[in-house]
Amino acid sequence: MFYDCAAHPEQFVYKLMTATVTPRPIAWVTTRSETGGINAAPYSFFNVMGHEPPTVALGLLRDPDKGLKDTAENITATGEFVINLVARQMAEAMNVTAINAPRDVSEVELAGLAVAPCVKVAPPRLAEAPVSFECRLHAAVMTGPKQMIAIGRVAAIHIADRFLLDAGRGHVDTPALDLIARMHGSGWYKAGGEMFQMDRPVYTPPEPGLDRDA
């Protein structure tokens, strides 16, 4: 089946993309407003974009009622945000923070979340998150009406000690993080699952004078 994106409603194309690009890591983003309010919200249009310098990207879609979401408003206003990764034990609390609350309501308080101070940015991190990235805004790209991509530079990383195999060498016990990922449809997530490993091949040039197809 061929789908011309321009010939279908935006919500229809959204369903196709989110049903096929899975699993997607979840960024549980904490921000601080210009008046000091703390916001927390999960986003699954997220990934690492590079490491020289360490760079992440967030896709922040339009809120049907408010337009630009609180997270996007706070990031553009302050230039700072924190990405917390979501362990399975925190999934229900994360889901609470996806609520369509008014701007003056704190999702952190609604979900009963504890926060901890960051070192290099003003917004706090979620104290129970296994991993948190302190980020500064590198660029905000408006990709549509009230829709933007926030590209962030990672200034610091917090990893709970119990998930480090060798802190000095940066070896993390990734399976123990027990992170969840976003799947298809309404409310589907993935935790755990079977893993397999493949070594990346290394190209070996043919020896001079040899016909590879001989």
The chain-wide mean pLDDT, for the chain, equals: 94
Q: Is residue 204 part of a domain?
A: no
Residue 213 has pLDDT above 70, yes or no: no
How far is the C-alpha of 59 from the C-alpha of 169, rounded, in Å?
32
Q: Is residue 44 part of a domain?
A: yes
Using alpha carbons only, how large is the chain's radius of gyration in Å? 20
- Write down the pTM of the prediction: 0.92
Q: Is residue 53 part of a domain?
A: yes
Give the domain range for residue 144. Answer: 10-191
In the block, tokens 């008014």 appear at 102
CATH number of the CATH domain containing 114: 2.30.110.10
- Number of domains, the chain: 1
**For the chain, percent of residues with pLDDT exceeding 90:** 84
Q: Is residue 58 part of a domain?
A: yes
21-25: Cβ within 8 A, 24+ apart: 22/181, 22/182, 22/183, 22/184, 22/190, 23/181, 23/182, 23/183, 23/190, 24/181, 24/182, 24/183, 25/85, 25/179, 25/181, 25/182
Residue 210 has pLDDT above 70, yes or no: no
Q: Is residue 210 part of a domain?
A: no
Centroid of chain to Cα 22: 13
How far is the C-alpha of 124 from the C-alpha of 118, rounded, in Å?
5
Residue 146 has pLDDT above 90, yes or no: no
Angle, vertex CA 201, rays to CA 196 and CA 203, nearest 5: 175
Q: Is residue 4 part of a domain?
A: no
Q: Provide DSSP, 88-113.
A: GGGHHHHHHTTS---TTS-HHHHTT-
Q: Is residue 198 part of a domain?
A: no
Residue 214 has pLDDT above 60, yes or no: no
Residue 193's pLDDT is 86
Confidence grade of residue 145 (pLDDT, cut at 50, 70, 90): confident
Q: Is the dihedral of CA 174, 194, 13, 91 positive or negative?
A: negative
For 131, list phi and psi in degrees, rounded to 5: -140, 140
Q: Is residue 46 part of a domain?
A: yes
